[in-house]
Amino acid sequence: MFTLFFVNDLPNKAGLSYEFNNEDAQHAIRVLRTKPGDEFMLSDGNGSWAQIKAVEIGKKSIQVQVLDIGYQEPLATTITVVQALPKGDRAKEAIELLTEAGVDQIVPWASARSIGKASDKFAITAREASKQSRRFRIPQVSQVATTVQICEAIAVSDLAIVFHESATQKLSDQVSSHNVANLLIIIGPEGGLTDEEVAAFVVAGAKVALMGRPILRSAHAGIAAVSAVSALLKVW
């Protein structure tokens, strides 16, 4: 698999000569030691991509030839994960794992028991994780949401699942249809969801499910939830 970089001005025609000259280009030059003849991928982060070959290496830019272009269609199911803010570096870890899982939108949530803080670097983390996981679509990271806003999102989703360690229903019993265009997954904080939060989500239309016997860290629960639901919905 070719190394992936992102650009704002993606070339749109095979055979073109193109100057790759952003921070990713400097990383390719200084860290990856890119040489003439090396091939890699560029993407605009919205599904379009170009396969390119390095022709001339400069100090801060690379002159390349465009070998091929294409577009990756989005999946039939759009996945949004509401992630209660974990503390410190675990917030960054959560963003990385959700990006690698293929999530389309990440919504940081200021839950009652959240102890973490939002960061303007979350979008950068998602971008870097997208390169690492070779995905042509960078997930959108929204502003921190309130519980009321999460309830509003539940109401317009096709399926909303709240994962809670005290749930009595297994996840597999809560997914009855594969026809889900908009999926919403809610992950609580390390201290757990309050009864009031769970009740509000249920009233808004969410289903409450048990992920399994082991209790995962909040930062790790999202990728497990996305994996399980994606398999049940046949997204994977």
CB within 8 Å of 186: residues ≥ 6 apart: 81, 82, 109, 150, 160, 161, 162, 163, 201, 206
Structure tokens at 193: 């969801």
Band of pLDDT at residue 112, cut at 50, 70 and 90: confident
pLDDT at position 215 is 78
Band of pLDDT at residue 169, cut at 50, 70 and 90: confident
Q: Spell out where the chain has E strands.
A: 4-6, 17-20, 39-43, 48-57, 62-71, 78-84, 105-109, 140-141, 159-163, 182-187, 207-209
pLDDT at position 167 is 80
Band of pLDDT at residue 191, cut at 50, 70 and 90: confident
Q: Which amino acid is at 216?
A: L
pLDDT at position 214 is 77
CA atoms in the 13 A half-sphere facing the CB of 194: 9
* pLDDT at 118 > cutoff 80: no
pLDDT at position 110 is 87
CA angle 16, 39, 32 (to 5 degrees): 125
Structure tokens at 10: 């993606």
* pLDDT at 212 > cutoff 80: no
pLDDT at position 235 is 85
pLDDT at position 173 is 85
* pLDDT at 88 > cutoff 80: no
Q: How high is the mean pLDDT of the chain? A: 92
Do the strands 62-71 and 48-57 form a parallel or antiparallel pair, or are they unpaired? antiparallel
Is 55:65 a contact under the CB 8 Å cutoff? Answer: yes
Give the pLDDT confidence of 27-85 residue by residue, as tens digits: 999 999 999 999 999 999 999 999 999 999 999 999 999 999 999 999 999 999 999 98
pLDDT at position 63 is 96
Domains in the chain, start-ordered, CATH in brackets?
Answer: 4-71 (2.40.240.20), 78-232 (3.40.1280.10)
> 106 to each of 78, 128, 160, how far by Cα in Å?
11, 15, 14
pLDDT at position 226 is 94
Band of pLDDT at residue 145, cut at 50, 70 and 90: very high
